[in-house]
Structure 1
Amino acid sequence: MADSPFIVEVTAENFEEVVIQGSAEHLVLVDFWADWCAPCKMLLPVLSKLADEFNGQFVLAKVNSDQQQSLAQQYAVRSLPTVKFFKNGEIVDEFMGAQSEGQIRAMLDQHIIRESDHLHQQAMALQSEGKTDEAISLLEQANEIDPGRTVIIADLAGLLLQQGDLEKAETLIQSLPDSEKEKPEIASLLANLEFAQAADKLPDVSELEKTMAGDENNLQARYQYAMLKINAGDYETGMQQLLEIMKRDRKFEDDLGRKTLLKVFDMLGDDPVAAKYRRQMFNLLY
Structure 2
Amino acid sequence: MFWNSNNIIEVNEYNFNTEVIEYSLNSLVIVAFWAKWSKPSIEYRKMLEIITARYGNQIRLALVDIDESPLLSSKFAVYTLPTLKMIYQGNIHQELIGYQPEFRVVQVINSIRIPDPMKLEIEKAYAYLNQKDYKTAGRLFTEILEKRPLNPEASFGLAMNYIHSAEPLEAYYILKDFPASPLYDSAGKLLPLVKAMSQYQAGTLPQQEPLDFAFSRAMKFAIDNKYYLAVDGLLEILKQDRNYYDQAVSKVIIGILELIPDSDPQKKQFRSELSAILF
Where on the TM-score scale, by shorter chain, does this alignment land: which range?
Answer: 0.5 to 0.7
Residue identity in the other structure for 1:158: M
Which residue, out of 68, 72, 75, partners 1:71? 75
Deviation per residue, 1:91-125 (Å, 9 max, x gap): 2344344457787678667747365x543222112
Q: What's the TM-score once normalised by structure 2's chain length?
A: 0.66
Q: Is 2:262 the counterpart of 1:241? A: no
Does the residue aligned with 1:178 lie in a helix, a strand or coil? coil
Does the residue aligned with 1:32 lie in a helix, a strand or coil? strand
Deviation at 1:22, TM superposition (A): 3.7
CA distance in 1, matches of 2:219, 2:170: 22
Counterparts in 2 of 1:34-113, with a 5 A limit? Answer: 34=35, 36-47=37-48, 54=56, 58=60, 60-62=62-64, 64=66, 67-68=70-71, 70-73=74-77, 77=78, 79-98=80-99, 111=114, 113=116
Is contact 2:27–2:60 with CA below 8 Å preserved after alignment? yes
CA RMSD after TM alignment: 4.4
Is contact 1:195–1:230 with CA below 8 Å preserved after alignment? no
CA distance change for structure 1 residues 183 and 27 in 2, over 3 Å: closer, same or farther? closer
Task: Give the equivalent residue in structure 2 for 1:163.
Answer: 165
Task: Give the equivalent residue in structure 2 for 1:282.
Answer: 278
Does the residue aligned with 2:150 lie in a helix, a strand or coil? coil
Task: Give the equivalent residue in structure 2 for 1:178.
Answer: 177
Name which structure has the greater RCO, CA cutoff 8 Å, separation 6+. 2
Which residue, out of 114, 123, 126, partners 1:124? 126
CA distance in 1, matches of 2:20, 2:210: 70
Q: Is 2:138 the counterpart of 1:142? A: no
CA distance in 1, matches of 2:255, 2:142: 26
Is contact 1:33–1:63 with CA below 8 Å preserved after alignment? yes
Task: Give identity over the alignment, percent.
Answer: 19
Residue identity in the other structure for 1:245: Q
Does the residue aligned with 1:113 lie in a helix, a strand or coil? coil
CA distance in 1, matches of 2:46, 2:210: 59
Deviation at 1:59, TM superposition (A): 5.2
Residue identity in the other structure for 1:281: I
Residue identity in the other structure for 1:64: I
Deviation per residue, 1:135-161 (Å, 9 max, x gap): 222112223333333432221121122
Deviation at 1:80, TM superposition (A): 1.9
Is contact 2:138–2:158 with CA below 8 Å preserved after alignment? yes
Deviation at 1:87, TM superposition (A): 0.8
Is contact 1:19–1:61 with CA below 8 Å preserved after alignment? no
Deviation at 1:4, TM superposition (A): 8.6
Alignment gaps of 5+ in structure 2: 204-208
CA distance in 2, matches of 1:262, 1:52: 32
State the number of aligned residues: 254
CA distance change for structure 1 residues 98 and 161 in 2, over 3 Å: closer, same or farther? same
Deviation at 1:176, TM superposition (A): 5.8
